[in-house]
Amino acid sequence: MTGTDDAFADTPVAIVGLGLIGGSIARGLRQAGHRGRLTGCVVDAADVATAERLGLVDHVSTELGEAVAGAALVIVAVPVGAMASVFAELGAHLGADTAVTDVGSTKMSVIADARAGLGKAIGRFVPGHPIAGTEHSGLEAGVAGLFNQRRVILAPTPETDADALARVEAFWQSLGAQISEMDAAHHDEVLAATSHLPHVLAFALVDTLARMAERTEIFAYAAGGFADFTRIASSDPALWSDIVTANRQAIGPVLDRYIGDLEQLRAAIAAHDGDTLVAAFGRAKQARDRFAQRSTNDKA
Amino acid sequence: MTGTDDAFADTPVAIVGLGLIGGSIARGLRQAGHRGRLTGCVVDAADVATAERLGLVDHVSTELGEAVAGAALVIVAVPVGAMASVFAELGAHLGADTAVTDVGSTKMSVIADARAGLGKAIGRFVPGHPIAGTEHSGLEAGVAGLFNQRRVILAPTPETDADALARVEAFWQSLGAQISEMDAAHHDEVLAATSHLPHVLAFALVDTLARMAERTEIFAYAAGGFADFTRIASSDPALWSDIVTANRQAIGPVLDRYIGDLEQLRAAIAAHDGDTLVAAFGRAKQARDRFAQRSTNDKA
């Protein structure tokens, strides 16, 4: 369900970071008819003018304290690598009842950053991760419906209080998202497999090919399959470097497993061992077809 | 340009194999107003009825000799692994002036198969590869416009005669394809990088994840990036096992290079070495953005 919720629609909301995710949240709240004051925080003065021109929020500032003053919900939508410094500054500016959430792709690292920065206010923090995005970034990249019918994982800590959790749930519901709860460590393992590893593999492939002598011809003859396979390699390099290093403990084992599996396929290819290849490709096709079928059902 | 060519439109054409590619050729020729008789060859008797119901060709048979009788152009559109047996039988049924082409994803292996099967008629053979496809397969999967404005690589051998080449060029032009010529060995290297390797990587990833204990949850939380990255893992396993083993000499080195690059990234992730990651991801993004930009321009 997208739309206003009587309890939540009047809530003053501050969004720290107005990139793809923060900007999409702002657009989504506007579209949902949110009545509470929307404020935003950006790093660069130039982005203040852009945010104002786009009308993303009611007030935008480069000062974190000014941006979050009076907010009952603060959404930290900065890259994973910038979470620590935001949380370090945020603690001093929070109201006693303000709830805080984030949208980071890793949860263990963000929880550690929040714990360090918020101190006793850690109970007001609800770790979150919307499973949505595009390969684009920046203030102009946001899309109002980005979270509609998409999954959001919340990973409350033992300290997270029930009111803060309820407020964050109401927020995501107002954007039409489907909320699941998951343990933070488990979140990081699941996302390492489904999102972080594919990004590493796609970046690596394009980089490998781009450094080959025949690169111009290689890209000239690449078609639709290649375009789809490598779309995520157009994602922001610094953002993904941060995510991958922040979640290195979960990514390492699955990347090792993948490299080991690739080496087995490499040996099968060299040995002209069609049986091993057909078996592996067949298991993959079966799993991928099931995934595609379920995704289609989810949308129906 | 799609449409009839006065010289080519009356040419009797036989299509051996009416799957995704062969079926799309038949549909494309119909749509282009082809007037010459279209015949088709399928392996299974059940497929005769399907081809007739779909009206793919004027006459369909399970007998290769019957299917190609009277054809001035024979298009061999069977999986790479079935090329040898088709060519072995085809030689005995060709008219003196019949041109032959294929649509295989590898060219060195198909040329070897054609040379073995066609003998002295090898001069009538024009190796070809349309850079187009979908992850679907079968008689029902064809699409009339599949080759419109898509690249087709022709890889003539030293023996290929000019008339046969001209006829195959006219055929692809009638479907709106853009023709390039390339040496067969070079074709195999380029396609190993842009198509065969990505298929291996996508199959391998889905298989790796499907064999993990958390597989159900992993696929449940996979989103759009994963869906795009793994789309080609829904391709036909046997077809791709054949392609990969047929082109193993070109795939081996690029797969080794990729595994080596992945191992370096793995080390950088473990060492928390953001500089190496940002550099690699940045090179990839730059190359991928250029590719996307040029693809957009190509379509404009």
Q: Of B201, B115, B154, which Cα lies nearest the Cα of A205? A: B201
Instruction: Give the pLDDT band (50/70/90) at residue B6.
Output: low
- Cβ separation A269–B248 shorter than 8 A: yes
Contacts of B177 (CB under 8 A, 6+ apart): B130, B147, B148, B149, B150, B151, B152
The domain that contains A209 carries what CATH number?
1.10.3660.10
The beta-carbon neighbor of A232 closest among B208, B229, B282 is: B229
Q: How many CB atoms lie within 10 A of CB B92?
A: 12
The beta-carbon neighbor of A234 closest among B231, B274, B289 is: B289
Q: Which residues of A touch B290 (CB under 8 A)?
A: 219
Instruction: Summarize pLDDT for B23-45 with one digit per residue, the tens.
Output: 999 999 999 999 999 999 999 99
Q: Which residues of B touch A218 (CB under 8 A)?
A: 190, 193-194
Is B242 part of a structural domain of the chain?
Answer: yes
Instruction: Summarize pLDDT for A191-200 with one digit per residue, the tens.
Output: 999 999 999 9
Q: Is the domain of B237 the same as that of B270? A: yes
Question: Nearest residue of A to residue B286 by CA position?
Answer: A234
Instruction: Name the residue range of residue A233's domain.
Output: 187-299
Q: Cβ(B24)–Cβ(B30) under 8 Å?
A: no
Q: Which residues of A touch B284 (CB under 8 A)?
A: 202-207, 210, 233, 237
Q: Is the domain of B46 the same as that of B92? A: yes
Can you give the pLDDT at residue B136?
84
Strands (E), chain A: 13-16, 38-41, 59-61, 73-76, 99-102, 125-126, 128-130, 151-154, 178-181
Q: Using the 3D structure, point to which of B125, B159, B182 is the last residue of a domain.
A: B182
- Cβ separation B251–A233 shorter than 8 A: no
- Cβ separation A223–B132 shorter than 8 A: yes
- Cβ separation B226–A290 shorter than 8 A: no
Is B1 part of a structural domain of the chain?
Answer: no
The beta-carbon neighbor of A230 closest among B220, B236, B288 is: B288
Q: What is the C-alpha to C-alpha distance for residues B83 and B104, in angstroms, rounded to an integer?
A: 8
HEC-encoded secondary structure of B239-279: HHHHHHHHCHHHHHHHHHHHHHHHHHHHHHHHCCCHHHHHH
Cα A229 versus chain centre, distance: 19
Q: Is the domain of B213 the same as that of B66? A: no
CA angle B188, B195, B166 (to 5 degrees): 55
Q: Is the domain of B167 the same as that of B213? A: no
Question: Nearest residue of B to residue A135 by CA position?
Answer: B225
Size of interface A-B (CB pairs under 8 A): 317
- Cβ separation B225–A195 shorter than 8 A: yes
Can you give the pLDDT at residue A1?
45
Best to test chain A binding among B153, B195, B207, B272 (most A CBs inside 10 Å) = B207
Instruction: Summarize pLDDT for B191-242 with one digit per residue, the tens.
Output: 999 999 999 999 999 999 999 988 888 898 888 789 999 999 999 999 999 9
Can you give the pLDDT at residue A6?
67
Return the axis-axis angle of helices A248-270 and A237-246, rounded to nearest 10°.
100
Q: Of B100, B208, B59, B92, which Cα lies nearest the Cα of A261? A: B208
Instruction: Kindly state the DSSP code that residue B291 receives in the 8-state scheme.
Output: H
Is B3 part of a structural domain of the chain?
Answer: no
Is A149 part of a structural domain of the chain?
Answer: yes
Mean pLDDT, rounded, for A192-221: 93
A41 φ/ψ angles, rounded to the nearest 5 degrees:
-120, 130
Q: Is the domain of A101 the same as that of A205? A: no
How many distinct structural domains can be found in chain B?
2
Is B5 part of a structural domain of the chain?
Answer: no
The beta-carbon neighbor of B208 closest among A81, A261, A289 is: A261
Q: Is the domain of A194 the same as that of A171? A: no
The beta-carbon neighbor of B204 closest among A210, A255, A261 is: A261
The domain that contains A41 carries what CATH number?
3.40.50.720
Can you give the pLDDT at residue B223?
81
